[in-house]
Structure 1
Amino acid sequence: MQSEPSHGVRVKIGGNAHGPVVAGNGNVTHMNTATPEPEVASERGRRADLLAAYRVVVTTDVQRSSSRNNDGQRRMRRALEECVQAGAVALGVPQEVFEPVDRGDGLQVVMPEAVTLVDVLDTFVEGVAKALREHNQAASDAYRIDLRAAVHVGYVDQVGGEWSGTPLVHAARLVDAPEVKHVLGEAGDACLALVVSDAAKHVVDEGYCKVGPIGYRHLAVVVKETSCDAWWRLL
């Protein structure tokens, strides 16, 4: 990483991302002029809104999560948060600014400005995969976690502390690709299926990452209204 992150990491588990992206270069900041409710005024007052913030986004989803009972769901969420925290530690992001929010069986992460695609593909994803392998070695088959993760990059907005934008929607479509679910289900020892968008693949093609283009397989994604190219590899 080039420098210590200047913004906190916001993490959302599950759900659909939505909202427009304001085109432009760099970050445009302003304070939210709306009057918030008194109980949340102090929280929102600590953050400036960001429009057209260029960020790396990561969306994850736990394979076969709906097959777990209540106890299994609770354990899964705790373990998933710990594994993602391990990725943040590997990046050097302080835990006090890393804020996971449990919303189900997956996570959406908007990385700080200083975190690059290379950082995510070489360090964050590898850190998460390492933590997953350690969890699975100690867990029974019933509590094993197999994870799909999609990486994309683009302009997103943060309003009232909440992130939105088409890059988040696109990453959510990539992680739901049926072929990725199938290859992870048949993968044996692999615990993470990584999917990268066409935009994210450029840094791989240019030779910046530890794993080069030969390590990825092409994927034609057709999910809901999304039809695009992507690439995947197993960890």
Structure 2
Amino acid sequence: MSRGGESMVDEHKTICAVDIAGFGGMSRTRANHVALREGMYSSVEQAFLQSGIPWADCYQEGAGDGILALAPASVGKSAFAEKLPVALVSALQSHNATHRPEERIRLRLVLHAGEITRDERGVTGQAIIHAFRLLDSPQLKDALRDSTGVLAIVASTWFYDEVIRHHPEYVPEEYEQVTVDVKETNGYGWIRLPDGGRAVPGDIERRPPVPAPAREEPVVLTPVVRPASPEFYEVVDAIEAVPCMRGEHTRSLVVEQLPFAGSVRYFANRRAHVTSILRTCLDFDDGVVQLVTAISGQEPSGSAPLNRLMALLTGAA
């Protein structure tokens, strides 16, 4: 088909797009952004190939912190519904295990299908617009934010009704329906967290953020903690005992709250990472106070391990 002298082709495609959560965080440098983009492309391409989706046959378009990939109709949708989530989680976890927190990736992913129009400048179509509205929905962002995993998936109503719900191997019971109201899009999507749990969507919308405990007095280290001293490792023990510091992902969320997060050296070993975090905090004025405040934001009110840490730092233990 030709309009205005330009060649246009209408095609049916499986639509898959991803977006990096928190890509523009203020603590990230341009070098971090490059590492994130490289990791995203490497992880997505690897996951496609492992799922039997020929990457070279897909139309690909970069969007700074995301990728749009359109697969030809000849590629079975089972590869997207069953294999891709597992392969992508594995690829992201492998990337994150070898990178420091500010270069670790958490992705939002949308699955949809429909007619697209290709012209000399690229692709367009209502199906692509709808997919990006789902990808940008607050419900999906909230789901990943409250998740312990690295991936949040939203399937369009069409993709869920026509593909996912018909096959038990696509785990339709793990998808939760949510209302999506973004710009001109008002409808439903189906969210799944393949590697992390969360509350039901209504709880996410109603639950306010957990405030950090009010602290009238500044935290004072008593006695003064010096690196490699017995007191230093006692504090390391106490920090490591706090639940949010035991999980790799939640520990990274704490580090990301520190204004000097880029100075914290990442270690895959939890003990080594916690030691690195504390040692870095001691290099900055109020660094330990900022660490405790960040931990408090991740822990529920009345957390016994957090209270023990506070008692140790203030000399009340």
State the TM-score, normalizing by the size of structure 2. Answer: 0.56
**Aligned-partner Cα distance in 2 for 1:211–1:92:** 16
1:125 aligned counterpart, secondary structure: helix
Indicate the residue corresponding to 1:138 in structure 2.
98
Alpha-carbon distance change, 60 to 95 in structure 1, aligned in 2, over 3 angstroms = closer
Indicate the residue corresponding to 1:59 in structure 2.
17
1:194·1:234 contact (CA, 8 Å) conserved in 2?
A: yes
Alpha-carbon distance change, 135 to 180 in structure 1, aligned in 2, over 3 angstroms = same
2:15·2:111 contact (CA, 8 Å) conserved in 1?
A: yes
Alpha-carbon distance change, 233 to 93 in structure 1, aligned in 2, over 3 angstroms = closer
Alignment of 1:1-235 (within 5 A): 34=5, 49-51=8-10, 53-67=11-25, 68-94=28-54, 96-97=56-57, 100-160=60-120, 162-188=122-148, 190-202=149-161, 203-207=163-167, 210-235=169-194
2:63 aligned counterpart, secondary structure: coil
- Structure with larger Rg: 2
The number of residues matched between the two structures is: 191
Provide structure 2 residue ranges, at least 5 long, that are not aligned to the other structure.
195-317
Alpha-carbon distance change, 220 to 95 in structure 1, aligned in 2, over 3 angstroms = closer
1:74 Cα offset (Å): 0.6
Alpha-carbon distance change, 177 to 33 in structure 1, aligned in 2, over 3 angstroms = closer
Identity score, percent: 24
RMSD of aligned alpha carbons:
2.2
2:169 aligned counterpart, secondary structure: coil
Alpha-carbon distance change, 214 to 80 in structure 1, aligned in 2, over 3 angstroms = same
- Tell me which moved more, 55-64 or 157-166: 157-166
**Aligned-partner Cα distance in 1 for 2:126–2:59:** 22
Provide structure 1 residue ranges, at least 5 long, that are not aligned to the other structure.
1-29, 36-47
State the TM-score, normalizing by the size of structure 1. Answer: 0.74
Indicate the residue corresponding to 1:3 in structure 2.
none
Higher strand residue share: 1
Report the residue type matching 2:97 in the other structure: Q
1:141 Cα offset (Å): 1.4
